[in-house]
A = this chain, B = another copy of it.
């Protein structure tokens, strides 16, 4: 039993789960923050992927227990262990500040997860004890190619255990109280039905509250422009370090796994030795590098001197080009000192029931009425229909304020006005 602030307790009942938790690969998740650089915006958000992974496991366990207690025929009982293992392990391939690394170095945490599960690792060995083909089955669930879609949808759908845990957990640790919803109620109204997990009609309002919480978390936490700013800094550090490496720059400090990362030659073992501590220690050392750009970016990150931003309703390339030119004229690097961002690019999504690829990737939420008819939930709830259609298409421009302020006299008046540098 683990004490957990979100679920009170996490119960481990199978020996396999217990052994998986105790592998070095899973313990490594303790050294990877769940929300990347978000702790620089919400100081409470220092929780790890370890605690989130336990949480996803716990929610899956509760869902399956409910299915079994109610003796629902449509739940394939023999799939319990594979579901629990996939839930526990679904994030095991995340690296430090994954999204930034994936963006810069084109890696893919889902692929790493499967490599860890099927490669020469302690996790693999524990799974093999269950059966020769068991690691492959777990990986298939994560790849969403597993034969039983109901198992996949436990871990990956519009209202899966992953999402339910991270919404509650991120709300708890950031202290944002809009992100809460009634998990117990939702767990009670789920039902396996013809290969899918559906929601009993009586639970419609609970799902509305869940989606509203999700909506609020996106706008208040995940899309927070200050977090976007620290993510940008992080990406730039990785970009600059990679660039320097390719140019043959000699780093004062460079550990093997980072070298492999820059070279694109990461092995599973090397990947597993990457964690937030190693990356952050490297940033601390890189402050002393000779390359001014890298050194400055790292100092900014360590001391939290983030880029400032302005918000725009619209944005076109002509405008950005003009700014880039000005940046060059005053001696700044537009590729590092000017970033544009809009939430559309982001790794988190809002509920959009209609979009085709989404339906395949993430099954929508289905409602089951008393007469056993199934319908997509936004067909029944006006409020969900309206949340689904929402978007706030703002644009943000990020830049180092101090550097611009120091050169303000050489900027065009309209740029000065735009950046409030009068």
Which residues of A line the B interface, CB within 8 A? Answer: 2-6, 8-9, 22-24, 27-28, 30-31, 39-40, 42-44, 46-48, 50-51, 54, 172-178, 182, 184, 205-206, 208-209, 212, 215-216, 219-220, 255, 273, 275-278, 280-282, 284-285, 302-305, 382-383, 385-387, 389-390
Would A46 and B43 count as touching, CB distance under 8 A? Answer: no
Checking B4, B43, B178 against A50 with a beta-carbon cut-off of 8 angstroms, the contacting residue is B43
Copies in the assembly, this chain? 4
List residues of chain B with CB within 8 A of the CB of A255.
281, 285
Known: A281-B277, A281-B281, A284-B278. A44 touches B3 (CB 8 A): yes
> Nearest B residue to A10 by beta-carbon distance?
B43
Determine chain A's interface SS by DSSP, over half rule.
helix
- Complex interface: chain B residues within 8 A of A284 (CB): 273, 275, 277-278
Contacts of A281 in B (CB 8 A): 255, 277-278, 280-282
Q: Contact: B386 with A4, CB < 8 Å?
A: no
Task: Report B-chain residues with C-beta under 8 Å of the C-beta of A389.
Answer: 382, 386
Smallest CB–CB gap between A292 and chain B, Å? 18
Nearest-CB residue, chain B, relative to A382: B390
Min CB–CB distance A258 → chain B (angstroms): 11
| Residue of A3, A47, A48 contacting most chain B CB atoms (<10 Å) | A3
- Which residues of chain B come closer than 8 Å to A27, judged between CB atoms? 302-304
With a cutoff of 8 Å between Cβ atoms, the chain B residues found around residue A273 in the complex are 284
Contacting residues, chain B, for A302 (C-beta < 8 A): 24, 27-28
Chain B residues near A5 (CB-CB < 8 A) = 44, 172-175
A10 to chain B, nearest CB (A): 9
Nearest B-chain residue to A175, judged by Cβ: B5
Knowing A303-B27, A386-B382, the reply to whether A216 touches B220 (Cβ < 8 A) is no
Docked Cα-Cα span, A275 to B276, in Å, equals 13
CA distance A205 to B218 in the complex (A): 11
B175 lies within 8 A of A182 (CB): no
Q: Which residues of B contact A4 (CB under 8 A)?
A: 43-44, 175
- Asked whether A178 lies within 8 Å of B173 as measured between CB atoms, the reply is no
Across the interface, A176 reaches (CB within 8 A) one of B3, B6, B48, B216, namely: B3
In the assembled complex, 21 residue pairs joining A and B whose CB atoms fall closer than 8 Å, in A order, are A3-B42, A3-B175, A5-B44, A5-B172, A8-B175, A30-B39, A30-B43, A31-B280, A43-B51, A178-B205, A205-B216, A205-B219, A208-B216, A212-B212, A255-B285, A277-B278, A277-B281, A278-B281, A383-B386, A385-B386, A386-B390
